Amino acid sequence: MSAEERRELERREAELIRALGGGPSPPGVDSERMRLAAEAVAGKRARLVRHGWPALTLELGERFETMFVDYVKAEPGGEEAIADGLLFARRLDGLALLKDEARVEARLVAAEWRVVHGRAVRRRAPYVAAVRVRRPRRVVLIWRLGGRVRHLTIRR
Amino acid sequence: MSPWGDGELRIGIGWREPIAGFIAAQEELGFVEVVAESLPANGSLPAAIEQLLDRGVVAVPHGLRLSLGGAERPDPARVAHLGHASAALGSPLVSEHIAFVRAGGRSAGHLMPVPRTRAALDVVVENVRIAINALPVPLALEHVAALVEWPESEMTEADFVSEVIERTGADLVLDVANLYANSRNHGFDPLEFLDRIPLERVAYVHVGGGVEREGVYHDTHRHPVVTDVLGLLEELCARTLPPAILLERDDDFPAPEALAAELAAIRAAAERGRRRTSTRVG
């Protein structure tokens, strides 16, 4: 088997994955079926993220689906739910759409996991973050030391 | 030759955290499948799984992310993880898919179908051989459900799967729900598929639920098992009785009674098929 065979397979498969993220259907692939497949995969990924991110789900409400589809289109994506959730939350944070409880939740997950090449791997290095929450006004300190994530709320 | 050893037909269920209690309460449980990537690298197991192993329940690691149908050779660390999972569970085999999950630096987030060309077949065969050589136990491969079809496909799915199995020595995880989904969505005869694949190489069978939407059947694993899928299971068992059959349910878990009824329906379908065989022979 030649390296050329692997390159050709890579090219075709990458086209299909881009199409799952809203790109054009690969030449010859039925575009209606492609749309259904993209919807099904995005829906499944969104559902898995929702399970693990109650505060984020509450925060986004009805916007969750749309925002998640935007994320699927824009980013390479995570290989499983934890990575997907972290990358989704990071994107929302970058867009200043992550507030209060959802930000605390994101930092609590990030204290335990980081994403490497689309996979969630357990963090080894210490982690510390402070989240300013508006209602009720407080600061939540989150840190991870010796394998345990802890948090402390400071009222202001 | 079965990796299970001799014995009665085993009926099992995919181990998932939300139904751990239900699974622990099943006295007749033949085996479980555990998502390999959900197990930690240090070999520790969730307490609920430890308890099943203590009871003598066989647990098989089921990998989702090796991407054996991908253009890249399988990542040695991922293959090693699958091997470690089998050691931690003491399982007689591991399973994975004939599918790809990443390409071009992006993740599909799902098991995607490989173009069924001779060239892609060679790539899959080499990938599977690499995995088999690095695994401590036999590998069984599952064919996947796919909504899209590649225009360049040169072979039927049955022939593609059979060639992978024959050329690599891997065993087969026959998923009757995937077979049903593809036969419906791509218009082929599922019985012809059963007649063409090497049934003696089936390590175990998957049964899962799904739903029809917009004229297409979706293999969701979060809906009930449809009657036609049980019908296919019966057809399979009339041809050859597989050593083990597993129900896959991943989400929207029903009440325990409903889940127990699905397990009972699977056993009943297998028994109906088996009776047809003995009638024919006798």
Condensed to tens digits (0 to 9), the pLDDT of residues B195-231 reads: 999 999 999 999 999 999 999 999 999 999 999 999 9
Contacts for A68 with CB less than 8 Å, ≥ 6 apart = A42, A45, A46, A49, A88
What integer pLDDT is reported at residue A136 of this predicted model? 86
Question: Does A9 contact B106 at a Cβ distance shorter than 8 Å?
Answer: no
Burial of B15 (0-12, 13-18, 19+ CB in 10 A): buried
Of B171, B68, B170, the C-alpha closest to B126 is B68
The DSSP line for B83-133 is HHHHHHHT-S-EEEEESEEEETTEEEEEEEPPP--HHHHHHHHHHHHHHHH
Mean pLDDT of A125-135: 92
Mean pLDDT of A116-134: 92
Mean pLDDT of A25-34: 96
Q: Please give the share of chain A, as a percent, with pLDDT higher than 90.
A: 81
Question: Does B148 contact A18 at a Cβ distance shorter than 8 Å?
Answer: no
Contacts for B236 with CB less than 8 Å, ≥ 6 apart = B174, B176, B194, B199, B205, B242, B273
Cβ contacts (< 8 Å) between B185 and chain A: which residues?
A: 33
The Cα–Cα gap between A121 and A139 comes to 27
Give yes or no for residue B3 having a pLDDT over 80. no
What integer pLDDT is reported at residue B57 of this predicted model? 95
Give yes or no for residue B59 having a pLDDT over 90. yes
Mean pLDDT of A131-140: 92
**Closest residue, chain A, to B111 (C-alpha):** A41
Q: Please give the share of chain B, as a percent, with pLDDT higher than 90.
A: 91
Confidence of residue B4 (pLDDT cuts 50, 70, 90): confident
What integer pLDDT is reported at residue B282 of this predicted model? 45
Contacts for B187 with CB less than 8 Å, ≥ 6 apart = none
Question: Does A17 contact B37 at a Cβ distance shorter than 8 Å?
Answer: no
State how far residue B272 is from chain A, nearest Cα, in angstroms: 34
Of B218, B170, B219, the C-alpha closest to B198 is B170
Most confident option among A74-78, A117-121, B84-88, B273-277: B84-88
Among the residue ranges A117-131, B58-72, B117-131, B169-183, the one predicted with the least confidence is: A117-131
- pLDDT (tens digit, 9 = 90+) per residue, B145-188? 999 999 999 999 999 999 999 999 999 999 999 999 999 999 99
Q: Which residues pair with B175 in a beta bridge?
A: B206
- pLDDT (tens digit, 9 = 90+) per residue, B23-41? 999 999 999 999 999 998 8
Give yes or no for residue B82 having a pLDDT over 90. yes
> What is the overall mean pLDDT for chain B?
95
Q: b/e string for A35-63 if b means 16 or more Cβ within 10 A? A: bbbbbbbbebbbebbbeebebbbebbeee
The Cα–Cα gap between B123 and B69 comes to 7
Tell me, what amino acid is at A35? R
Give yes or no for residue B112 having a pLDDT over 60. yes
Most confident option among A63-77, B39-53, B257-271: B257-271
ipTM exceeding 0.90? yes
Mean pLDDT of A46-59: 95
What integer pLDDT is reported at residue A12 of this predicted model? 97
Q: Model's pTM, two decimal places?
A: 0.94
Where helices occur in chain B by DSSP H, the ranges are 20-24, 47-54, 76-89, 118-134, 157-168, 176-186, 190-196, 227-239, 256-281
Burial of B130 (0-12, 13-18, 19+ CB in 10 A): middle
What integer pLDDT is reported at residue B56 of this predicted model? 93
State how far residue A18 is from chain B, nearest Cα, in angstroms: 8
Cβ contacts (< 8 Å) between B36 and chain A: which residues?
A: none
Per the CB < 8 A criterion, the answer to whether B196 and B155 are in contact is no
- B21 versus B3: the higher-pLDDT residue is B21
Question: Does A13 contact B147 at a Cβ distance shorter than 8 Å?
Answer: no
What integer pLDDT is reported at residue B281 of this predicted model? 54
- For the record, the structure tokens of B53 come out as 């192993």
Integer angstrom CA distances of residue A36 from A134, B125, B140, B141, B211 = 41, 30, 29, 26, 13
Confidence of residue B135 (pLDDT cuts 50, 70, 90): very high
The Cα–Cα gap between A125 and A144 comes to 8
What integer pLDDT is reported at residue A1 of this predicted model? 62
What integer pLDDT is reported at residue B273 of this predicted model? 97
State how far residue B117 is from chain A, nearest Cα, in angstroms: 10
DSSP state of B226: P
**Closest residue, chain A, to B150 (C-alpha):** A29
The Cα–Cα gap between A55 and A66 comes to 17
Check whether the bond before A136 is cis (ω within 30° of 0).
yes
Cα dihedral B54, B58, B64, B69 in deg (nearest 10)? 150
* B→A interface, C-beta within 8 Å: 37, 64-65, 70-72, 100-110, 112, 114-115, 119-120, 122-123, 126, 146-152, 185, 214, 216, 218, 251
Q: Which of A13, A29, A51, A122 best probes binding to B when mutated, by most B CB atoms within 10 angstroms?
A: A13
Q: Which residues pair with B59 in a beta bridge?
A: B32
Give yes or no for residue A39 having a pLDDT over 50. yes
Q: Do you know the residue count of chain A?
A: 156
The Cα–Cα gap between B24 and B115 comes to 40
Question: Does A34 contact B148 at a Cβ distance shorter than 8 Å?
Answer: yes
Give yes or no for residue B8 having a pLDDT over 90. no
Q: Please give the share of chain B, as a percent, with pLDDT higher than 70.
A: 97
